Amino acid sequence: MKKIDSLILRNFIGPFAITFVIALFVLVLQFLWKYVDDLVGKGLELGIIIELIFYLSASLVPLALPLAILIGSIITFGNLGEHYELVALKSAGISLQRFMVPLLVLSIAFAFVAFWFMDNVLPKANLKFRTTLYRIVKAKPALNIQEGIFYEGIDGYVIRIEDKEEDNQTIHNVKIWDKKKTESSKSSVLSAKRGNMRITPDERLLIFTLEDGWRYEEMKSKDAEKVNAMPHMRTYFGEYEMVLDLSSFGIKQANESIYKTRPKMLSIAAIKGAIDSLERKDAKIPENTYKRAKPYFSLFKDSALAQVNPIDYCYFDKWLGDLNLTKAYKDKVYKKAKDDAKALAKQGNMGASQLKSGDRRLVRYFLAWYDKYATAFSCILLYIVGAAMGAIIRKGGLGMPMVVGILFFMVYYVMMTMGRKMAEENAITAFNGVWMATYVLLPVAVFLMYHAINDSPIFNADSYKRLFKKFTPNNN
């Protein structure tokens, strides 16, 4: 049996490793394509690109690992079936369950590794990836100004460049709107036929050297009563140098505190602490809402009415009539009651909104918590599905197993995504949302395993025709 176990393990490692690398590569390309507009044209150094891909690859391991286990197990058992090795093993009295054991033990080991990875490595990888991406997106905005586009990436300015040469510095037909107000002007516009833009070596300043243009300034009117008065000043220049501060875009100034409290950046221990803090905070919302609303429960504070019994609001109008108050005073009371009712409704809506927002935050933390366990268990579940499917289809290689594996993984991923979305909308609990994919695939795994053990031809059309005839009335 040791030789058989060794044979199965050797047959599995190769397809698993190849599939894992391919899956990770495809997932990395997919995510990079999503951010291609933020990466292209920024003159990024090779080291920063490698750093981004490294952290991105680490953050995608929880998706690539189950997929590799699924396809690797289909290929392994498909190869054994295609070469009649499964038949030979079964004829020797070895059951399918027995020669699934070595890979089952390996998949359980992968599950533990995946759980450890998601609790210790993945939060740091996600944090580093998001921080690195943020640094890249905010870095060197000048080199990312597209032709014919109004660029608003620099606070206080709108820049439009009609044409830009290949050197990425020589520019033509430039317009720069300076929206910052000064003591004498509201805003200004620079328009030039050509120019040059460059970034200082320390990447803190963007310098525009403009030629043959005009500067238009909208001046502040001294006579506020003259609504139509719109004084402005126009100045021609042969050469003009404009300096913009880019210190807030420095690639070395990204702060991890922006992302470090997000659920995906936390371990289980940190998530538990965050959940406890949020629950205590949310528990105070009703009390705080009551404190804010309490002053409005007093109808009015008049010494003449200090001894009046508590009010039955169903008979509010009759009660006011019995007090023999003047109409003006009644109107005042009505207005006060109406304003207080609006204020109470506002406070109630604010409290409800805070509770809803708190629930959404809690759901995200619970989703991140349960997801660590669900992803680890998926390594075992998808192995069972893959092994049973490979034993049934009995096809090896990267053709049929790859197609079948991707189809099953798509079902798993879609159900997982759907469950998370439903949990975020409070349609179902966070626990059920995370485990929805398992609820769907577990019966499928049992069904496939049963047919694989019993050699049932589930893809044989004739068997289904015979089954259909059993339930069809005889027309003779």
Which helix (H) or strand (E) segment is 6 a member of?
helix 2-34
Question: pLDDT at position 303, please?
Answer: 43
| Element housing 164 (H / E) | strand 157-164
CB-facing half-sphere around the CA of 220: CA atoms within 13 A: 8
Longest dimension (CA), the chain: 105
Q: Return the closest-CA partner of residue 17 out of 75, 57, 99, 58.
A: 75
Contact 58, 150 (CB under 8 A): no
Alpha-helix runs per DSSP H in 306-435 = 316-322, 327-393, 400-424, 430-434
Q: What is the pLDDT of residue 7?
A: 79
Sequence-separated contacts (24+) of 156-161 with Cβ below 8 Å: 156/180, 157/244
Give pLDDT tens digits along the chain (476 positions). Answer: 677 778 788 888 988 999 899 989 988 888 778 776 666 655 566 777 788 888 889 989 988 999 999 998 988 888 887 777 777 777 777 777 777 888 899 999 999 999 999 999 999 888 888 887 777 766 555 556 777 778 776 777 888 888 888 777 788 888 888 877 665 556 788 888 888 888 777 667 788 888 888 888 776 665 544 555 556 777 888 888 888 876 655 444 445 666 777 888 888 998 988 888 888 888 887 777 777 777 766 544 444 444 444 444 444 555 555 556 666 776 777 777 777 778 778 877 877 877 777 788 888 899 999 999 999 999 999 999 988 888 888 777 777 878 888 888 899 999 999 999 999 888 889 899 999 999 999 999 998 888 888 776 665 555 556 656 666 665 44
Q: Cα separation of 26 and 171, whole Å?
A: 37
* HSE-CB for 84 with a 13 A CA cutoff: 2
DSSP summary character for residue 178: E
pTM for this prediction:
0.67
pLDDT at 465: 63
CB atoms within 10 A of CB 232: 13
3 state SS of 313: helix
- Separation CA 243–CA 224 (nearest Å): 33
d(CA 192, CA 214): 6
For 236-250, b/e burial (b = at least 16 CB within 10 A) is eeeebebebebeebe
From 250, 118, 200, 57, select the one nearest 49 (Cα to Cα): 57
HEC secondary structure over 10-55: HHHHHHHHHHHHHHHHHHHHHHHHHCHHHHCCCCCCHHHHHHHHHH
